[in-house]
């Protein structure tokens, strides 16, 4: 899918909408994500903080866990958005690790900051030394 396709445009809009539901009373840093399953269904996620920051859950992981809980096992793309970031906000290391568990290295990730301009990257660009996929391809 290209960035201009209706499905990707909708995915980006869903990520922006998901950020509205962020539970971020400590950082006040809202993040939303939207994950497109192979079924065509979109699963939203938002960051959910806790006063013990180590148990905070990111928007991307929330979307994946919601999709998996609903039986979705194949994924097409994810969009991540923060209205509180001056720069495009890519997934953190923990989220990249979770994403790599369920998708191929070519999985597209769209991410944006408050300007709403999404950048497209593939997981392999953000997670270049994914040993599991590297070994499987040999």
Q: 71's torsion region: left (phi>0), alpha (psi -120 to 50) or beta?
A: left
CATH architecture of 6-136: 3-Layer(aba) Sandwich (3.40)
For residue 60, indicate whether it is catalytic. yes
The Cα 77–Cα 42 span in angstroms is 10
pLDDT in tens, 76-96: 999 999 999 999 999 999 999
Higher pLDDT, 127 or 96: 96
Q: Which residue has the tokens 């809980």?
A: 69
pLDDT reported for residue 103: 95
The catalytic position among 60, 72, 74, 101 is 60
Q: Percent of the chain scored above 70 by pLDDT?
A: 89
Task: Kindly report the number of other CB atoms within 10 A of residue 51's CB atom.
Answer: 8
The tokens for 30 are 């809202």
* Contact call for residues 98 and 92 (beta carbons, < 8 A): no
Is pLDDT at 63 greater than 60 in this prediction? yes
* Contact call for residues 31 and 21 (beta carbons, < 8 A): no
DSSP 8-state code for residue 55: G
Mean pLDDT for the chain overall: 91
pTM for the predicted model, two decimal places: 0.90
Q: Percent of the chain scored above 90 by pLDDT?
A: 83
The tokens for 35 are 């994950």
């Amino acid at each position: 899918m290209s960035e201009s396709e209706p499905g990707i445009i909708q995915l980006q809009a869903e990520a922006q909408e998901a950020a509205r539901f962020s539970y971020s009373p400590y950082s006040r840093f809202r993040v939303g994500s939207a994950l497109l399953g192979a079924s065509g269904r979109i699963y939203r996620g938002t960051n959910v903080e806790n006063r013990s920051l180590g148990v905070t859950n990111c928007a991307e992981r929330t979307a994946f866990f919601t999709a998996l809980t609903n039986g979705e096992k194949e994924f097409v793309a994810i969009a991540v958005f923060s209205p509180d970031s001056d720069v495009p906000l890519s997934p953190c290391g923990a989220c990249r690790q979770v994403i790599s568990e369920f998708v191929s290295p070519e999985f597209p990730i769209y991410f944006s900051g408050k300007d709403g301009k999404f950048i497209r990257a593939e997981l392999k660009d953000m997670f270049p030394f994914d040993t599991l996929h590297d070994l499987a391809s040999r």
